[in-house]
Chains A and B, each alone.
Chain A
Amino acid sequence: MIQILKMAFRDLGRNRRRSFFSALAVGAGLALLILMASVIEGEMGSAIESAIKLQSGHIQIRAVTYNENKSSLKWVDLIENPEQIAGQIGALNQVKAVTPRLYASGFLSSGTQSAGARITGIDPLSPASDPYREGVVSGNFISPDDREAVLIGKPMADKLNLKVGDNVSLSLNTSDGNVQDQTFTVKGIYSTNTYGFDSATVFLPLVKAQAITQTENHASTIFILLKDTALTDSVLPALHVSSNLEIKTWKDLNALFVDYEAMAQSYISIFYLIILAISASVIINTLIMSVYERTREIGILSAIGMRGNRIMMLFLAESSMLAVGGVIMGLIIGVLATLYFNVNGFYIGNMGLSGILITDTIYAKLTTDNLINLTIMTFVVTLLSGFYPAVMASRMQPVAALRAEK
């Protein structure tokens, strides 16, 4: 056995360049798989986390009849005593923040320009509002007692040509179906680096939003952030709401995204297969070439009484060594590349996927799961590709040793 390994190793050494490039092909394949998986992991992970943080929360409580797309302000569609429900939920220890929010649709206009807006009344002091506060790029964040101040996103400010301190006119629907106009001052401009969100979302203090829409102390939703996304299912049994309300989790609230992710995963599997098939065909090709070149040698081994299965082992040993070499190279290249994109990220700008919030820079994120699975997958595929050439070698006739000319 040791002799077989020694022979296999020397056989690879005999044609160093070819062995190196075959191993490199396996390595490059693996590196590409690792990088792809990490980028996707990074994108999916950050997209879902930012959707939760910015828009959906982990859990929301809403009226059963509430229609998110219409931002309805009819009484039946709203929650009557949100502070009380929020207080109860806030007592659960998995909960990081719980806060009522009010949504209304409207538009902002300045001079001749106008832009559709999703007016969002928030409690500026709630920890759930931190991502917006942290996103302020100029001016200041709103405070609960502001009555004429709005916080707008950077894309909206650019579009309407607004600076901090400028006046802007806001028109929005009210609970009785009328339209209300009022002039506000831009108190701050924020950016969460998420175009789909920043270009439309306009923040008011909740109290002001309730006043202008004439919804009194009602809220569209109770927005709940947990200490960790994984806690979602464990919190659900502890939530009890009256029959006119319903509980929605981030999975329900981001259904589009969850579907998109599932679809993306299946496309990605096809890419994986293509990459693996390329690596496999390089290995098969190298080994078949080497079997043909060594017809005579295989014949000699067979003539001196080496059984077919041992000859097969010799070639399998060679492909295992290529696999090990390739996997090591792949791990080094793949991890380094991932590390680079983990630190620097790569900028994709506004991908324009409507309904899905995606940040403009993707940071690769390598999980041990992915690393282990892809490494094993590459290793196994490489070994399997060595099988056919090895069987071919073991079936060769010993007469070849006497017949093949030099």
Chain B
Amino acid sequence: MEVVKIENVTRVYQIGKLETRALQGVDLSIESGEFTSLVGPSGSGKTTLLQMIGCLDQPTSGHVIVNGKDVTKLNRNQRADMRRENIGFIFQFFALIPTLSAYENIEMPLLLNRQGTAERKERVMELLKAVDLTDRANNRPDQLSGGQQQRVAIARALAPRPALILADEPTANLDTENGRQVMDIMQKLNKDTGVTFVFATHDPRVINYARRVVTLQDGLIEKESKPVKK
């Protein structure tokens, strides 16, 4: 099944008189259960493309279809609903709410989805276990290491059982060991739960995890490859 379909998407940033064509007509289709990496030099449009897929931003032209819905036709609130119900995010800067504990951060999307107390608790505990942070449940983000914070972010992204998780350079601020741990967890979750992962990265070790690699260059898809390994 197709989770994401991008049709001839462009995105032009305009700052004063300066126009930047971040995406110049991208077509891309992502199937359910993929573990796909977006690569390319800095400025090639990886983050911009993730924002389009994630309904965080609107394309200048073209269509973005997520779960069969054309999100370019949705209003602000509908896009927020779309994100809440179908898409999880993992960012380079661990992007947790600083005033909430690990537990509460993971619980947040469940609260937004109005799930019951017992159900929420069960789900959060299950996720804390999956990212191996059960003993850190009550710590605030500033009491956690970068790797631990990123694992909380993964658990949060996963909590509402989204169809799709988008990660923008999830390991860029982590050392090799923590980066490896994070990627291992993502890979395992992808295998176990079948959730689709799309991640942008520069890191060759991370690219190694991908089963499909999409290379961007100057806002266009330059090539695609399916590395066969392990």
Q: Are B57 and A296 in contact (CB under 8 A)?
A: no
Q: Are A397 and B81 in contact (CB under 8 A)?
A: no
Per the bound structure, the CA–CA distance linking A11 and B93 in Å amounts to 20
B121-157 vs A: 1/0 string, CB under 8 Å? 0000000000000000000000000000000000010
Tell me what chain B mostly uses at the interface: helix, strand, loop, or mixed.
helix
Mark out the residues of chain B between 32 and 68 whose CB falls within 8 Å of any chain A CB in the assembled complex.
47, 50-51, 54, 56-57
Is residue B74 within 8 Å, beta carbon to beta carbon, of the partner chain? no
CB closest residue in chain B, given A310: B112
Q: Are B56 and A398 in contact (CB under 8 A)?
A: yes
Residues of B within 8 A of A403 (CB): 47
A293-304 vs B: 1/0 string, CB under 8 Å? 000110011111
Residues of B within 8 A of A310 (CB): 112
Q: Are B111 and A305 in contact (CB under 8 A)?
A: no
A306/B80 contact (C-beta < 8 A), A300-B95, A398-B56, A401-B91 known: yes
Q: Are A305 and B76 in contact (CB under 8 A)?
A: no
Residues of B within 8 A of A304 (CB): 83-84, 88-89, 108-109, 112, 156
Per the bound structure, the CA–CA distance linking A178 and B50 in Å amounts to 107
Is residue B14 within 8 Å, beta carbon to beta carbon, of the partner chain? no
A399/B99 contact (C-beta < 8 A), A306-B112, A307-B81, A308-B77 known: no
A402/B99 contact (C-beta < 8 A), A304-B108, A304-B112 known: no
Tell me what chain A mostly uses at the interface: helix, strand, loop, or mixed.
helix
Is residue B98 within 8 Å, beta carbon to beta carbon, of the partner chain? yes
Q: Are A300 and B83 in contact (CB under 8 A)?
A: no
A402/B83 contact (C-beta < 8 A), A3-B111, A10-B99, A305-B112 known: no
Q: Are A305 and B83 in contact (CB under 8 A)?
A: yes
Q: B-side interface residues toward A, CB under 8 Å?
A: 47, 50-51, 54, 56-57, 76-77, 80-85, 88-89, 91-93, 95-100, 104, 107-109, 111-112, 156, 168
Q: Knowing that A306-B84, A307-B80 touch, tell me 8 more A-B residue pairs with CB under 8 angstroms.
A: A3-B111, A10-B99, A10-B100, A14-B99, A305-B85, A401-B89, A401-B91, A405-B93
